[in-house]
Amino acid sequence: MPPEDALLGLLLELDEGQGVSLARLAKRMDERVSVLLRRASGLTDAVIGGVAGPGWVRLQCDDTGRWVASLTPAGRAAAKRH
């Protein structure tokens, strides 16, 4: 399973509407947070290398510097297909 599919599946499992901290996701996926942040960025709607991502994941950093990932409705549908 590609790492992006694993990330979508884990978010589908853990995201109960308030998002999931990247630290928690990284621990579950046995990845460093920095690696997971790069991978998740490619699943947002950000334009990277001139190409917009699919918009499946929303990343937010709160006031304490804690990164949180959540599925968008399109991401939830994509995760259920994978």
The DSSP bridge partners found for residue 35 are none
Rounded CA separation 54/48 (Å): 11
| Of residues 7, 6, 2, the one with CA closest to residue 57 | 7
And the tokens for 66? Answer: 């804690």
List per-residue pLDDT tens for the chain, 82 residues long.
677 889 999 999 998 888 999 999 999 999 999 999 999 999 999 998 999 999 999 999 988 999 999 999 999 999 888 7
